[in-house]
Amino acid sequence: MQKKIMDNIEVKALAKINIGLDVTGIRDDGYHEVRMIMQTVNLFDKVSVKKVPEDRVSMTTNLKFLTVGDDNLCIRAAKLLKDEFDIKEGVEISLEKHIPVAAGMAGGSTDGAAVLFAVNRLFNLGLSKKDLMTRGVRLGADVPYCVMRGTALAEGIGEVLTPLPPMIKCPVLIAKPGISVSTRQVYESLDACFDSVVHPDIDGLITDIKNNDLHSLCSHMGNVLEDVTIPMHPIIADIKQNMLNNGAVGAMMSGSGPTVFGFFEDNKTARVAKEALTKTGMVKQLYLTTLFNNKM
């Protein structure tokens, strides 16, 4: 039978949280050396990519405030592969956005990773996951992880990835207040107080994951960026405390913020916590979801 040729594909672009985030140094080029435990969650954007005969890359999205110019990671991802493989056809990208924007959940990076995957499939480029990860780092430090997904230790500037055993299964509540955070501003503020910050126990977290121990993991969770983001936006601490007061085993800010996530032992407790947090009016976006695990 003749192989059917695809002319469009839809991909789920999954969000991430940081179970642990440490900054270990500042490089001469201004980038920061990190050690992070990255975890994919089942909260996603829908990215549709369609072949068109014209040699162009265009994009639409359901959010009017998102830019869809040449600096958008989806556009850049498509052009990267088009240029490398001299693809004369074009693509139309449609982005249905659900992951909170500017929220420390790699929303832009995962959308760019989804476009790499889609273009590779649509044009039968034959690139492996490792090949796509290698190209992804040219778009941004989080893109290779968003191609890989699952549970991983990220080092370097975030692009050196080591797969870890699947994370402990548990419900996760994700809450974003109605504010956005500048990642650049957070890291600049961190630089000014770097010698006094408390560094999380990343190795302890890895042991907890291997031992499948949720309570110990939550006791070791830490994000060095909380030291600078929470003083700027105290509502983050209020959301964390609300989750803990309502049964979360652990709660923490993801990335540079302002999104907060909480781990729960069971769905019933998580649903009660979601309802309680909704009533406070502190959050603009609130999701109860699960953790995504690649099969080892």
Is residue 97 part of the annotated active site? The answer reads: no
Contact 26, 32 (CB under 8 A): yes
Is residue 129 part of the annotated active site? The answer reads: no
Contacts 24+ apart (CB under 8 A), 156-162: 156/33, 156/34, 157/27, 157/31, 157/32, 157/33, 157/34, 158/34, 158/36, 161/38, 161/133
Contact 281, 235 (CB under 8 A): no
Which of 22, 45, 111, 142 does the annotation list as catalytic? 142
Rounded Cα–Cα distance for residues 236 and 281 (Å): 13
Active site residues: 16, 142
